[in-house]
Amino acid sequence: EVQLVESGGGLVKPGGSLRLSCAASGFTFSSYSMNWVRQAPGKGLEWVSSISSSSGYIYYADSVKGRFTISRDNAKNSLYLQMNSLRAEDTAVYYCARSVSGSPNFDYWGQGTLVTVSS
Amino acid sequence: EIVMTQSPATLSVSPGERATLSCRASQSVSSNLAWYQQKPGQAPRLLIYGASTRATGIPGRFSGSGSGTEFTLTISSLQSEDFAVYYCQQYNNWPLTFGGGTKVEIK
């Protein structure tokens, strides 16, 4: 069974940093691209970042470019999102999601971790 | 950036009725279009990819159609568990973009 479990969310002050993790199991992690998608409270879905299976291709939304860094450790079956210079508008549930390489739709999602940026 | 526009924002439907949801892209996305269902407090679930291919385990009452800029998700006979918010997403170009969602509510 495919499982994606996010962790690392919490309350952080504007300008602060946070590192999210996503632990994957039930599939060959190193064969899939991975993604972060977020959802602000009461709002729709927003794609944040994607990383290819071997980390050769990385993409970011303009809203986070230069502040967030996606990475993965295939030996640990883990995906990460380093978030720096956080703003109030980054407050959201952050989902980890899997996609087939070359076809970035999201076939499995984690349950999400809430990031709240507030003073 | 490709803008995805969903309509209507809210759709009121009685159980057993047919629901038709629309998604329009600001430029062609070919057939690189997915649909997701999200229930309150839950993560989204992939329903359709490639505009018309049902994802694993998705019931046959869900069907997708369209290509280019106009897409439709049809739920042939609404069940109680189908009342939710539905999102379309294009994956033809970066950045990936979602529509604003259509809430399907009980009439």
Which candidate, A19, A111, A6, places its Cα nearest to that of A70? A19
Sheet of A3-7, strands arranged across: A3-7, A18-25, A78-83, A68-73
pLDDT confidence band for B107 (50 / 70 / 90)? confident
Average pLDDT over residues A30-57: 97
The model's pLDDT over B64-95, given as tens digits with 9 standing for 90+, comes to 999 999 999 999 999 999 999 999 999 999 99
Which candidate, B89, B102, B104, places its Cα nearest to that of B3? B89
Average pLDDT over residues A55-66: 97
Of B42, B43, B89, the CB nearest to A105: B89
Q: Which amino acid is at A62?
A: D
Cα of B14 to nearest chain A Cα, Å: 24
> What per-residue confidence (pLDDT) applies to A115?
98
Mean pLDDT, chain B, as a whole number? Answer: 97
Chain A: residue whose CA lies nearest to B34: A105
The percentage of chain B sitting over the pLDDT mark of 90, rounded to a whole number, equals 98
Is A106's CB within 8 Å of B45's CB?
no
> N- to C-terminal Cα distance for chain B?
35
Q: Which residues of A touch B95 (CB under 8 A)?
A: 47, 59, 61-62
Chain A: residue whose CA lies nearest to B91: A104
Cα distance between residue A67 and residue A81, in whole Å = 10
Cα distance between residue A22 and residue B38, in whole Å = 20
Is the pLDDT score of B1 beyond 90?
yes
Of A61, A106, A112, the CB nearest to B95: A61
Structure tokens at A7: 């962790």
Contact B74, B18 (CB under 8 A): yes
Q: Which residues of chain B from 65 to 104 reach within 8 Å of chain A, CB to CB? A: 87, 89, 91, 94-101
The percentage of chain A sitting over the pLDDT mark of 70, rounded to a whole number, equals 100
Chain B: residue whose CA lies nearest to A107: B46
Is A45's CB within 8 Å of B55's CB?
no
> What per-residue confidence (pLDDT) applies to A101?
83
Average pLDDT over residues B13-27: 97
Please give the interface size between A and B, counted as residue pairs whose CB atoms are below 8 Å apart. 56
